[in-house]
Amino acid sequence: MTSIPLEVPTVRAERHPTREGRRYLVRTFGCQMNEHDSERISGMLESDGMVRADGVDDADVVVINTCCVRENADNRLYGNLGQLKPVKDARPGMRIMVGGCLAQKDRDLVQQKAPWVDVVFGTHNLSRALALLDYAEEWGPITEIHDETASIDSIPSTLPVRREVDHSAWVTIMIGCDNACTFCIVPQVRGREISRRPGDVIREVTRLAGDGVSEVTLLGQNVNSYGRDLGIDGRRRPVFAELLRRVGEIEGIRRIRYTSPHPKDIKEDVALAMAETEAVCEHLHFPLQSGSARILRAMQRGYTPERFLEKLRMVEGIVPGLATSTDIIVGFPGETEADFQGTLKVVEAARFDGAFMFVYSPRPGTRAADMDDRVDPEVIKERFGRLAGLQQQITLDKNRALIGSTVEVLVEGPSRKDPAVVTTRTRTNKVLHLSGPHPPGEYLMAVVEAAAPSHLMGRLA
Protein backbone atom coordinates (compact mmCIF):
# COMPACT_ATOMS: atom_id res chain seq x y z
CA MET A 1 0.00 0.00 0.00
CA THR A 2 1.31 3.46 -0.86
CA SER A 3 1.32 5.90 2.00
CA ILE A 4 0.45 9.59 1.83
CA PRO A 5 3.66 11.57 1.30
CA LEU A 6 4.69 13.63 4.31
CA GLU A 7 5.85 16.47 2.14
CA VAL A 8 4.62 17.83 -1.17
CA PRO A 9 7.55 17.91 -3.59
CA THR A 10 8.11 21.36 -5.04
CA VAL A 11 8.92 20.66 -8.66
CA ARG A 12 8.44 18.01 -11.23
CA ALA A 13 10.34 17.87 -14.47
CA GLU A 14 7.45 17.16 -16.85
CA ARG A 15 3.89 18.20 -17.43
CA HIS A 16 1.22 16.41 -15.46
CA PRO A 17 0.09 13.41 -17.56
CA THR A 18 -3.67 14.12 -17.39
CA ARG A 19 -3.83 17.90 -17.31
CA GLU A 20 -3.24 18.67 -20.99
CA GLY A 21 -6.23 20.46 -22.54
CA ARG A 22 -8.17 20.68 -19.27
CA ARG A 23 -9.67 24.06 -18.46
CA TYR A 24 -8.98 26.51 -15.66
CA LEU A 25 -10.53 29.68 -14.33
CA VAL A 26 -8.82 32.19 -12.05
CA ARG A 27 -10.90 34.70 -10.10
CA THR A 28 -9.00 37.60 -8.57
CA PHE A 29 -9.95 39.93 -5.74
CA GLY A 30 -7.77 42.82 -4.71
CA CYS A 31 -4.80 44.89 -5.76
CA GLN A 32 -2.30 44.89 -8.65
CA MET A 33 -0.07 42.59 -6.66
CA ASN A 34 -2.89 40.05 -6.63
CA GLU A 35 -3.65 40.59 -10.32
CA HIS A 36 -0.01 39.90 -11.02
CA ASP A 37 -0.01 36.79 -8.81
CA SER A 38 -3.04 35.59 -10.80
CA GLU A 39 -1.10 36.01 -14.03
CA ARG A 40 1.54 33.74 -12.48
CA ILE A 41 -1.05 31.18 -11.43
CA SER A 42 -2.51 31.18 -14.96
CA GLY A 43 1.01 30.91 -16.37
CA MET A 44 1.79 27.89 -14.21
CA LEU A 45 -1.46 26.13 -15.14
CA GLU A 46 -0.85 26.83 -18.84
CA SER A 47 2.72 25.54 -18.53
CA ASP A 48 1.04 22.30 -17.51
CA GLY A 49 -0.97 22.24 -20.75
CA MET A 50 -4.22 23.69 -19.42
CA VAL A 51 -6.29 26.24 -21.31
CA ARG A 52 -8.50 29.04 -20.06
CA ALA A 53 -12.19 28.18 -19.41
CA ASP A 54 -15.07 30.41 -20.46
CA GLY A 55 -16.69 30.17 -17.04
CA VAL A 56 -17.26 27.94 -14.04
CA ASP A 57 -19.40 25.50 -16.04
CA ASP A 58 -16.55 24.33 -18.25
CA ALA A 59 -13.73 24.75 -15.71
CA ASP A 60 -11.86 21.71 -14.40
CA VAL A 61 -9.84 23.84 -11.98
CA VAL A 62 -11.14 27.02 -10.34
CA VAL A 63 -8.65 29.18 -8.47
CA ILE A 64 -9.82 32.02 -6.22
CA ASN A 65 -7.01 34.44 -5.48
CA THR A 66 -8.18 36.34 -2.42
CA CYS A 67 -7.46 39.70 -0.83
CA CYS A 68 -8.07 40.71 2.76
CA VAL A 69 -7.13 44.37 2.50
CA ARG A 70 -10.52 45.55 1.35
CA GLU A 71 -13.86 45.22 3.04
CA ASN A 72 -16.06 42.18 2.72
CA ALA A 73 -13.31 39.92 1.46
CA ASP A 74 -14.58 37.08 3.67
CA ASN A 75 -18.15 37.46 2.47
CA ARG A 76 -16.99 37.55 -1.09
CA LEU A 77 -14.81 34.45 -0.74
CA TYR A 78 -17.36 32.35 1.12
CA GLY A 79 -20.13 33.61 -1.18
CA ASN A 80 -18.10 32.44 -4.18
CA LEU A 81 -17.31 29.12 -2.53
CA GLY A 82 -21.01 28.67 -1.68
CA GLN A 83 -21.89 29.10 -5.35
CA LEU A 84 -19.21 26.57 -6.33
CA LYS A 85 -20.50 23.86 -3.96
CA PRO A 86 -23.40 22.59 -6.15
CA VAL A 87 -21.08 22.66 -9.18
CA LYS A 88 -18.54 20.55 -7.31
CA ASP A 89 -21.31 18.19 -6.10
CA ALA A 90 -22.38 17.68 -9.72
CA ARG A 91 -18.77 17.34 -10.97
CA PRO A 92 -16.63 15.96 -8.13
CA GLY A 93 -13.59 15.91 -10.45
CA MET A 94 -13.51 19.69 -10.53
CA ARG A 95 -10.76 21.10 -8.28
CA ILE A 96 -11.17 24.28 -6.26
CA MET A 97 -8.09 26.15 -5.06
CA VAL A 98 -8.01 29.18 -2.75
CA GLY A 99 -4.86 31.31 -2.52
CA GLY A 100 -3.81 34.84 -1.60
CA CYS A 101 -3.95 37.01 1.50
CA LEU A 102 -7.22 35.79 2.98
CA ALA A 103 -6.10 32.17 2.58
CA GLN A 104 -2.86 33.12 4.34
CA LYS A 105 -4.74 34.75 7.19
CA ASP A 106 -7.67 32.33 7.59
CA ARG A 107 -5.63 29.17 6.98
CA ASP A 108 -7.47 26.05 8.19
CA LEU A 109 -10.69 28.02 8.50
CA VAL A 110 -11.20 27.93 4.73
CA GLN A 111 -11.42 24.16 4.58
CA GLN A 112 -13.43 24.06 7.83
CA LYS A 113 -16.03 26.41 6.39
CA ALA A 114 -15.88 25.00 2.85
CA PRO A 115 -14.67 21.40 3.00
CA TRP A 116 -15.26 21.07 -0.75
CA VAL A 117 -12.15 23.20 -1.36
CA ASP A 118 -9.24 21.03 -2.57
CA VAL A 119 -6.21 23.30 -2.06
CA VAL A 120 -5.56 26.26 0.21
CA PHE A 121 -2.21 27.95 -0.37
CA GLY A 122 -0.69 31.06 1.18
CA THR A 123 0.97 34.08 -0.32
CA HIS A 124 4.41 32.49 0.16
CA ASN A 125 3.37 29.21 -1.47
CA LEU A 126 2.32 30.55 -4.86
CA SER A 127 5.15 28.77 -6.64
CA ARG A 128 3.87 25.48 -5.22
CA ALA A 129 0.35 25.77 -6.62
CA LEU A 130 0.88 23.05 -9.24
CA ALA A 131 2.55 20.68 -6.80
CA LEU A 132 -0.31 21.18 -4.36
CA LEU A 133 -2.84 20.55 -7.13
CA ASP A 134 -1.00 17.30 -7.96
CA TYR A 135 -1.17 16.34 -4.30
CA ALA A 136 -4.89 17.09 -4.05
CA GLU A 137 -5.64 15.07 -7.22
CA GLU A 138 -3.95 12.06 -5.67
CA TRP A 139 -4.48 12.31 -1.94
CA GLY A 140 -7.28 14.76 -1.23
CA PRO A 141 -7.64 18.24 0.22
CA ILE A 142 -4.56 20.07 1.44
CA THR A 143 -3.77 23.37 3.15
CA GLU A 144 -0.22 24.68 2.93
CA ILE A 145 0.69 28.05 4.40
CA HIS A 146 4.20 29.25 5.11
CA ASP A 147 4.66 32.23 7.40
CA GLU A 148 7.87 33.56 5.92
CA THR A 149 9.02 33.64 2.34
CA ALA A 150 11.55 30.84 2.17
CA SER A 151 13.94 32.66 -0.13
CA ILE A 152 14.23 35.30 -2.76
CA ASP A 153 13.65 32.57 -5.34
CA SER A 154 10.05 32.19 -4.27
CA ILE A 155 9.22 35.71 -5.46
CA PRO A 156 6.53 35.11 -8.04
CA SER A 157 8.18 36.98 -10.91
CA THR A 158 10.37 33.94 -11.47
CA LEU A 159 7.35 31.81 -12.37
CA PRO A 160 5.73 31.38 -15.78
CA VAL A 161 3.17 34.02 -16.56
CA ARG A 162 0.05 34.44 -18.66
CA ARG A 163 -0.17 38.18 -19.27
CA GLU A 164 -3.55 39.79 -19.92
CA VAL A 165 -2.16 42.30 -22.43
CA ASP A 166 0.79 41.99 -24.80
CA HIS A 167 2.29 45.48 -24.55
CA SER A 168 2.19 46.04 -20.80
CA ALA A 169 3.46 43.99 -17.85
CA TRP A 170 3.78 44.05 -14.10
CA VAL A 171 7.15 43.24 -12.62
CA THR A 172 7.45 42.40 -8.94
CA ILE A 173 10.59 43.99 -7.53
CA MET A 174 9.96 43.18 -3.88
CA ILE A 175 7.42 41.56 -1.62
CA GLY A 176 6.38 42.10 1.98
CA CYS A 177 6.47 45.23 4.09
CA ASP A 178 8.52 46.25 7.13
CA ASN A 179 6.11 49.01 8.14
CA ALA A 180 3.34 48.63 10.68
CA CYS A 181 0.43 50.82 9.61
CA THR A 182 -2.23 49.99 12.16
CA PHE A 183 -5.05 49.58 9.60
CA CYS A 184 -3.13 47.24 7.30
CA ILE A 185 -2.95 43.45 7.26
CA VAL A 186 -0.22 43.26 4.59
CA PRO A 187 2.79 42.82 6.94
CA GLN A 188 1.08 39.82 8.58
CA VAL A 189 0.11 38.11 5.33
CA ARG A 190 2.97 39.10 3.04
CA GLY A 191 5.79 39.02 5.62
CA ARG A 192 9.00 41.06 5.80
CA GLU A 193 10.42 42.97 2.86
CA ILE A 194 12.41 40.89 0.42
CA SER A 195 13.85 42.52 -2.70
CA ARG A 196 14.69 40.75 -5.91
CA ARG A 197 18.25 41.25 -7.07
CA PRO A 198 18.50 44.17 -9.51
CA GLY A 199 20.07 41.88 -12.13
CA ASP A 200 17.04 39.55 -12.00
CA VAL A 201 14.66 42.48 -12.44
CA ILE A 202 16.71 43.83 -15.37
CA ARG A 203 16.82 40.38 -17.01
CA GLU A 204 13.06 39.99 -16.65
CA VAL A 205 12.31 43.43 -18.11
CA THR A 206 14.78 42.82 -20.97
CA ARG A 207 13.02 39.54 -21.76
CA LEU A 208 9.63 41.29 -21.64
CA ALA A 209 10.90 44.01 -23.99
CA GLY A 210 12.06 41.26 -26.35
CA ASP A 211 8.50 39.87 -26.28
CA GLY A 212 7.08 43.23 -27.36
CA VAL A 213 6.28 44.77 -23.96
CA SER A 214 6.87 48.54 -23.96
CA GLU A 215 5.32 49.50 -20.62
CA VAL A 216 6.23 48.02 -17.24
CA THR A 217 4.87 48.71 -13.78
CA LEU A 218 7.31 47.92 -10.99
CA LEU A 219 5.44 46.50 -8.01
CA GLY A 220 6.23 46.50 -4.31
CA GLN A 221 4.41 47.41 -1.09
CA ASN A 222 6.99 50.09 -0.33
CA VAL A 223 9.24 50.53 -3.35
CA ASN A 224 11.28 53.30 -1.69
CA SER A 225 12.96 50.72 0.51
CA TYR A 226 13.74 48.46 -2.47
CA GLY A 227 17.16 46.89 -2.07
CA ARG A 228 17.69 47.81 1.58
CA ASP A 229 17.64 44.14 2.56
CA LEU A 230 20.14 43.17 -0.16
CA GLY A 231 23.07 44.98 1.46
CA ILE A 232 24.50 46.03 -1.91
CA ASP A 233 28.07 47.41 -1.49
CA GLY A 234 27.92 46.16 2.11
CA ARG A 235 25.42 48.90 3.00
CA ARG A 236 21.74 48.66 3.91
CA ARG A 237 20.60 51.40 1.58
CA PRO A 238 17.65 51.53 -0.79
CA VAL A 239 18.57 51.43 -4.49
CA PHE A 240 15.21 52.12 -6.11
CA ALA A 241 16.45 55.25 -7.89
CA GLU A 242 19.27 53.25 -9.50
CA LEU A 243 16.82 50.53 -10.49
CA LEU A 244 14.57 53.11 -12.22
CA ARG A 245 17.55 54.41 -14.18
CA ARG A 246 18.70 50.93 -15.19
CA VAL A 247 15.24 49.80 -16.28
CA GLY A 248 15.02 53.05 -18.24
CA GLU A 249 18.07 52.01 -20.28
CA ILE A 250 16.44 48.82 -21.57
CA GLU A 251 15.75 49.09 -25.27
CA GLY A 252 12.08 48.94 -26.18
CA ILE A 253 10.79 50.10 -22.77
CA ARG A 254 8.99 53.38 -23.38
CA ARG A 255 7.01 53.69 -20.17
CA ILE A 256 7.91 52.81 -16.60
CA ARG A 257 5.41 53.14 -13.78
CA TYR A 258 5.75 52.04 -10.18
CA THR A 259 3.58 51.53 -7.15
CA SER A 260 3.60 52.19 -4.28
CA PRO A 261 6.06 54.64 -2.82
CA HIS A 262 5.81 55.58 0.86
CA PRO A 263 5.63 59.33 1.60
CA LYS A 264 7.94 58.95 4.61
CA ASP A 265 10.66 57.22 2.59
CA ILE A 266 10.70 58.97 -0.80
CA LYS A 267 13.85 61.05 -1.31
CA GLU A 268 15.31 63.37 -3.91
CA ASP A 269 17.26 60.60 -5.61
CA VAL A 270 14.01 58.93 -6.73
CA ALA A 271 12.55 62.23 -7.98
CA LEU A 272 15.76 62.94 -9.90
CA ALA A 273 15.72 59.45 -11.42
CA MET A 274 12.12 60.08 -12.50
CA ALA A 275 12.99 63.41 -14.07
CA GLU A 276 16.17 62.22 -15.77
CA THR A 277 14.93 58.88 -17.07
CA GLU A 278 12.84 59.50 -20.15
CA ALA A 279 10.81 56.32 -19.86
CA VAL A 280 9.65 56.94 -16.29
CA CYS A 281 6.14 58.38 -16.49
CA GLU A 282 5.26 61.69 -14.87
CA HIS A 283 2.88 60.13 -12.40
CA LEU A 284 3.23 59.59 -8.67
CA HIS A 285 0.83 57.62 -6.53
CA PHE A 286 1.37 59.10 -3.09
CA PRO A 287 -0.87 57.61 -0.40
CA LEU A 288 -1.94 60.28 2.11
CA GLN A 289 -4.44 58.18 4.15
CA SER A 290 -5.32 61.13 6.43
CA GLY A 291 -4.58 64.84 6.71
CA SER A 292 -4.66 64.89 10.50
CA ALA A 293 -1.39 64.64 12.44
CA ARG A 294 -3.21 62.88 15.29
CA ILE A 295 -4.79 60.26 13.04
CA LEU A 296 -1.56 59.76 11.07
CA ARG A 297 0.13 59.02 14.39
CA ALA A 298 -2.60 56.54 15.32
CA MET A 299 -2.14 54.96 11.89
CA GLN A 300 1.65 54.82 12.45
CA ARG A 301 2.32 56.35 9.06
CA GLY A 302 5.55 58.05 10.04
CA TYR A 303 4.83 61.55 8.65
CA THR A 304 2.82 64.65 9.49
CA PRO A 305 0.53 66.45 7.01
CA GLU A 306 3.20 69.17 6.66
CA ARG A 307 5.93 66.65 5.93
CA PHE A 308 3.68 64.90 3.40
CA LEU A 309 3.12 68.16 1.53
CA GLU A 310 6.85 69.00 1.67
CA LYS A 311 7.71 65.66 0.08
CA LEU A 312 5.03 66.12 -2.55
CA ARG A 313 6.31 69.61 -3.38
CA MET A 314 9.84 68.22 -3.58
CA VAL A 315 8.86 65.65 -6.25
CA GLU A 316 6.66 68.16 -8.11
CA GLY A 317 9.54 70.64 -8.12
CA ILE A 318 11.88 68.11 -9.69
CA VAL A 319 9.58 66.25 -12.12
CA PRO A 320 8.02 68.62 -14.68
CA GLY A 321 4.36 67.96 -15.52
CA LEU A 322 3.91 65.52 -12.65
CA ALA A 323 0.38 64.19 -12.05
CA THR A 324 -0.45 62.73 -8.65
CA SER A 325 -2.95 60.36 -7.12
CA THR A 326 -3.52 59.22 -3.57
CA ASP A 327 -5.36 56.90 -1.17
CA ILE A 328 -7.46 58.32 1.66
CA ILE A 329 -9.27 56.52 4.46
CA VAL A 330 -12.37 58.23 5.86
CA GLY A 331 -13.56 57.43 9.39
CA PHE A 332 -10.46 55.88 10.97
CA PRO A 333 -11.21 55.20 14.70
CA GLY A 334 -11.25 58.46 16.65
CA GLU A 335 -11.47 60.71 13.56
CA THR A 336 -13.19 63.95 14.64
CA GLU A 337 -14.62 66.68 12.43
CA ALA A 338 -11.42 68.66 13.10
CA ASP A 339 -9.30 65.70 11.91
CA PHE A 340 -11.44 65.39 8.80
CA GLN A 341 -11.11 69.11 8.14
CA GLY A 342 -7.34 68.49 8.20
CA THR A 343 -7.77 65.92 5.42
CA LEU A 344 -9.83 68.35 3.32
CA LYS A 345 -7.14 70.98 3.84
CA VAL A 346 -4.35 68.71 2.63
CA VAL A 347 -6.45 67.61 -0.36
CA GLU A 348 -7.05 71.25 -1.28
CA ALA A 349 -3.35 72.03 -0.94
CA ALA A 350 -2.09 68.93 -2.72
CA ARG A 351 -4.53 69.14 -5.64
CA PHE A 352 -4.17 65.48 -6.55
CA ASP A 353 -5.22 64.52 -10.07
CA GLY A 354 -7.15 61.61 -8.60
CA ALA A 355 -7.85 59.82 -5.35
CA PHE A 356 -8.93 56.38 -4.22
CA MET A 357 -11.13 56.99 -1.21
CA PHE A 358 -12.10 54.31 1.26
CA VAL A 359 -14.51 54.12 4.14
CA TYR A 360 -12.58 52.72 7.09
CA SER A 361 -13.51 49.14 7.87
CA PRO A 362 -11.70 47.12 10.52
CA ARG A 363 -9.54 44.28 9.23
CA PRO A 364 -9.42 41.54 11.87
CA GLY A 365 -5.84 41.00 12.99
CA THR A 366 -4.82 44.65 12.67
CA ARG A 367 -4.13 47.00 15.61
CA ALA A 368 -6.79 49.45 14.46
CA ALA A 369 -9.46 46.73 14.61
CA ASP A 370 -9.06 46.75 18.42
CA MET A 371 -9.42 50.53 18.71
CA ASP A 372 -12.63 51.52 20.48
CA ASP A 373 -13.70 54.92 19.30
CA ARG A 374 -15.39 53.92 16.06
CA VAL A 375 -16.93 56.69 14.01
CA ASP A 376 -20.68 56.56 13.38
CA PRO A 377 -21.26 55.12 9.85
CA GLU A 378 -23.69 57.97 9.05
CA VAL A 379 -20.99 60.51 9.92
CA ILE A 380 -18.47 58.64 7.78
CA LYS A 381 -20.91 58.61 4.86
CA GLU A 382 -21.45 62.34 5.09
CA ARG A 383 -17.69 63.04 5.32
CA PHE A 384 -17.01 60.71 2.41
CA GLY A 385 -19.52 62.65 0.29
CA ARG A 386 -17.83 65.96 1.09
CA LEU A 387 -14.37 64.59 0.33
CA ALA A 388 -15.49 62.92 -2.92
CA GLY A 389 -17.17 66.17 -4.04
CA LEU A 390 -14.05 68.20 -3.38
CA GLN A 391 -11.74 65.73 -5.11
CA GLN A 392 -14.06 65.42 -8.10
CA GLN A 393 -13.98 69.18 -8.62
CA ILE A 394 -10.16 69.26 -8.37
CA THR A 395 -9.85 66.36 -10.84
CA LEU A 396 -12.22 68.07 -13.26
CA ASP A 397 -10.34 71.38 -12.99
CA LYS A 398 -7.03 69.65 -13.63
CA ASN A 399 -8.43 67.67 -16.56
CA ARG A 400 -9.99 70.82 -18.07
CA ALA A 401 -6.65 72.58 -17.85
CA LEU A 402 -5.36 70.03 -20.36
CA ILE A 403 -7.86 70.95 -23.09
CA GLY A 404 -5.96 72.05 -26.18
CA SER A 405 -2.71 70.35 -25.18
CA THR A 406 -1.07 67.53 -27.13
CA VAL A 407 -0.22 64.39 -25.22
CA GLU A 408 1.30 61.00 -25.95
CA VAL A 409 -1.16 58.16 -25.41
CA LEU A 410 -0.83 54.39 -25.37
CA VAL A 411 -3.79 52.46 -26.82
CA GLU A 412 -5.27 49.98 -24.36
CA GLY A 413 -8.12 48.62 -26.50
CA PRO A 414 -11.65 49.29 -27.73
CA SER A 415 -13.83 51.23 -25.32
CA ARG A 416 -16.27 49.02 -23.42
CA LYS A 417 -19.17 51.34 -24.19
CA ASP A 418 -18.46 52.14 -27.84
CA PRO A 419 -16.37 49.81 -30.02
CA ALA A 420 -15.73 52.67 -32.49
CA VAL A 421 -13.78 54.45 -29.76
CA VAL A 422 -10.46 53.35 -28.28
CA THR A 423 -9.41 53.78 -24.69
CA THR A 424 -5.89 55.09 -24.30
CA ARG A 425 -3.77 56.25 -21.39
CA THR A 426 -1.55 59.30 -21.07
CA ARG A 427 1.86 59.16 -19.43
CA THR A 428 0.24 60.92 -16.47
CA ASN A 429 -2.10 57.91 -16.07
CA LYS A 430 -5.25 59.62 -17.35
CA VAL A 431 -7.72 57.75 -19.54
CA LEU A 432 -8.28 59.44 -22.91
CA HIS A 433 -10.89 58.27 -25.44
CA LEU A 434 -10.50 58.87 -29.17
CA SER A 435 -11.95 57.52 -32.42
CA GLY A 436 -10.60 54.17 -33.48
CA PRO A 437 -9.74 51.68 -34.51
CA HIS A 438 -6.13 51.54 -33.32
CA PRO A 439 -4.40 48.37 -32.16
CA PRO A 440 -3.60 47.92 -28.46
CA GLY A 441 0.00 48.83 -27.72
CA GLU A 442 0.21 51.60 -30.34
CA TYR A 443 1.59 54.99 -29.26
CA LEU A 444 -0.20 58.04 -30.69
CA MET A 445 -0.15 61.78 -30.20
CA ALA A 446 -3.56 63.19 -29.27
CA VAL A 447 -5.03 66.64 -28.79
CA VAL A 448 -7.24 66.90 -25.70
CA GLU A 449 -10.65 68.27 -26.73
CA ALA A 450 -12.87 67.73 -23.71
CA ALA A 451 -12.62 66.67 -20.09
CA ALA A 452 -14.74 64.85 -17.53
CA PRO A 453 -13.72 63.88 -13.98
CA SER A 454 -13.04 60.28 -14.99
CA HIS A 455 -11.49 60.76 -18.43
CA LEU A 456 -10.41 63.00 -21.28
CA MET A 457 -11.64 63.00 -24.87
CA GLY A 458 -9.44 63.84 -27.82
CA ARG A 459 -8.52 63.43 -31.45
CA LEU A 460 -5.37 62.38 -33.26
CA ALA A 461 -2.84 65.19 -33.39
Planar angle of CA 182, 187, 188, nearest 5 degrees: 95
**Least distance from ligand SF4 to the Cβ atom of residue 184, Å:** 3
Which is nearer to ligand SF4, 262 or 383 (by Cβ)?
A: 262
Stretch that binds ligand SF4, among 83-91, 175-183, 234-242, 396-404 (CB under 6 A): 175-183
Which is nearer to ligand SF4, 180 or 344 (by Cβ)?
A: 180
Asked if 126 contacts 40 with a C-beta cutoff of 8 angstroms, the reply is: yes
% helix / strand / coil in the chain, to the nearest 5?
A: 40, 20, 40
**Least distance from ligand SF4 to the Cβ atom of residue 192, Å:** 11
Which is nearer to ligand SF4, 177 or 230 (by Cβ)?
A: 177
Residue from 28, 65, 66, 222 in contact with ligand SF4 (CB under 6 A) = 222
Residue from 221, 326, 391, 428 in contact with ligand SF4 (CB under 6 A) = 221
117 binds ligand SF4 (CB under 6 A): no
Residue from 159, 186, 323, 407 in contact with ligand SF4 (CB under 6 A) = 186
Residue from 181, 250, 407, 410 in contact with ligand SF4 (CB under 6 A) = 181
Q: Which amino acid is at 259?
A: T
Residue 440, helix vs strand vs coil: coil
CA-nearest of 275, 205, 269 to 237 is 269
Residue from 187, 252, 362, 453 in contact with ligand SF4 (CB under 6 A) = 187
Residue from 177, 223, 409, 451 in contact with ligand SF4 (CB under 6 A) = 177
Q: CA 416 to CA 427: how far, in whole Å?
A: 21
Q: Within 13 A of 274's CA, how many CA atoms are on the CB side?
A: 26
Q: CA 403 to CA 164: how far, in whole Å?
A: 32
Q: Supply the DSSP string of 124-172, one letter for each residue.
A: T-GGGHHHHHHHHHHH--EEE--SS---GGGSGGGS----SSSSEEEEE
Which is nearer to ligand SF4, 222 or 324 (by Cβ)?
A: 222
**Least distance from ligand SF4 to the Cβ atom of residue 270, Å:** 16
Q: What part of residues 257-296 is at the interface with ligand SF4 (CB under 6 A)? A: 262
DSSP character for 232? G
Q: Residues in the site for ligand SF4, rule: CB under 6 A?
A: 177, 179, 181, 184, 186-187, 221-222, 262
